[in-house]
Structure 1
């Protein structure tokens, strides 16, 4: 079987995630693989995610590489994928999910509760920023960009020789775990306090519709994790119905509870002063039912005033 070419961004986290996926898919397919590095707009442009076009800027170039035949597969952090599918591409596998939670990495072992008033905490996510402000109105939230190690270097005392100009940063626990940076975590933030981004902790493997080699198709099908796909389908359906971009101050988390899929979502004002949080469940029949659950919860959020609370237009 021909070598499988797997597209990836060049960051340490992207390379780690893609290598894990490529190794498993090639093992299942009985083939070898090579990684193809693709530079995306998100890797080039500076400024906040909302200024440069949201997290979709991290995937467009990868999708083009697959569509143009330079790669057979592309691996994305699922929370970076726009909710609308790309013409000619399909998400062929959603592997089992990592930790969904956000993580605080702070100086001196501090937690959200023990950070002093006036503490400076960095994040590049409007969702995290809003929920941080709601949980701890007395802290200062600082907008930051950069890879995981760059962000950790902003925390006083965490990285030798780094700026250390912040008291803490909030990052996805999944990325820290995949990079082996768990020791930097001082608190795994309970979703009751900070609901994660739709799809957080999950990966997506995209390929051209109907063009994967037979062995690769079967490998991707067996690699797909049904409970994770159901959960992220419901979460992302909330975003899609709200017509909100990936950088909107919206969190969503779904999980299987017996034969039911339970979904919770939050919409926040950017200043954290207004928060609307609702839950809904439905039989976990299939991905269509999961999407319908997400749409129904989004409709409830809109009826309760979500569009007044948060900037929802993507």
Structure 2
């Protein structure tokens, strides 16, 4: 049986899907790539928030799954709304690429070296909010398009710099253009950034069994915690929310360390909080951290609730060990 793998047509999406296909082929499966055009691919000019968030890259692939046109679909995990689908399941989350953001700037400059007034392109409200909060005096401008289109804005001189996900540049073999990999202390990535989701139909046991061999348990725990923050905040993929979870060595073995930020769209302030706990409690850790953010005023900083991504999952207990280790930032802070 040939597995039909649905993918977007962009170079990055095709590269990611080809990597998954190669992993499956190495396990003895025949795999055929099936290209699907999504709304986000057709409209390259409208801001993603106006289109309905990054979920616009997902719906066409899910439709193809449901119609039986494809047997599995590969998504950038940060594009997936957090509300689960009854008839679809993420059967595998492979090992994650570097989740950080990357700066590509003229003349090899870093964020701290860009002069005040420099133009920096990004289509992400999360990146914009955190950039503004750094107080560097940068002129942040909206940006859409594929990786080459965005990079071309710098080489042409239209922009002084752009910010992209390092993982995408890495998968495309383009890391040589990166002038700075941005420290999460300055800019927390999008929940799930750098990770892939392999989605199948719930009732397709054969494909699900084949795909499950690609699963990486540590990656799933980390992205589960990050996406739980979004779900509990009832925030859409395009909200100014960043989160990053890592598996670290604690006194009693592996621990999950989770950081999150909610930023003001105009950069007037941001709220950062952290928790640690067991990787087995990833979902509840993320939800507990989100409730801490809300209790400390996150909803006053940014509009969070969207129709794109409202979670239907019930709240869970917060009796596990939660340590808040960061402070509220209500003013601009330097790099």
Number of residue pairs matched by the alignment:
301
Decide which moves more: 42-51 or 295-304: 42-51
Superposition pairs of residues 281-292 of structure 1, within 5 angstroms: 281-285=276-280, 289-292=281-284
Residue 135 of structure 1, CA deviation: 1.6
- Whole-angstrom CA distance in 1 between matches of 2:2 and 2:85: 25
Q: Residues 268-305 of structure 1: CA distance to partner in whole angstroms, max 9, x if unpaired? A: 000111100000111122xxx21111100000000000
- Whole-angstrom CA distance in 2 between matches of 1:70 and 1:249: 35
Match of 1:239 among 219, 223, 230: 230
- Whole-angstrom CA distance in 1 between matches of 2:297 and 2:166: 31
Match of 2:36 among 24, 35, 38: 38
**2:217 maps to 1:226:** yes
- SS of the residue 1:219 aligns to: helix
**2:174 maps to 1:173:** no
Superposition pairs of residues 6-85 of structure 1, within 5 angstroms: 6-28=5-27, 30-45=28-43, 46-85=45-84
Residue 210 of structure 1, CA deviation: 3.1
- SS of the residue 2:113 aligns to: coil
**2:266 maps to 1:262:** no
- SS of the residue 2:70 aligns to: coil
State the match for 2:301 in structure 1.
309
Q: Which runs of 5+ in 1 are unaligned?
A: none
Instruction: Tell me the C-alpha RMSD between the 2 structures.
Output: 1.0
Residue 219 of structure 1, CA deviation: 3.1
Taking structure 1 as the reference length, the TM-score comes to: 0.94
User: Does the CA contact (< 8 Å) of 1:4 and 1:26 recur in 2?
Assistant: no
Residue 134 of structure 1, CA deviation: 1.3
Match of 1:272 among 262, 267, 272: 267
State the match for 1:200 in structure 2.
193
Q: Which runs of 5+ in 2 are unaligned?
A: 307-335
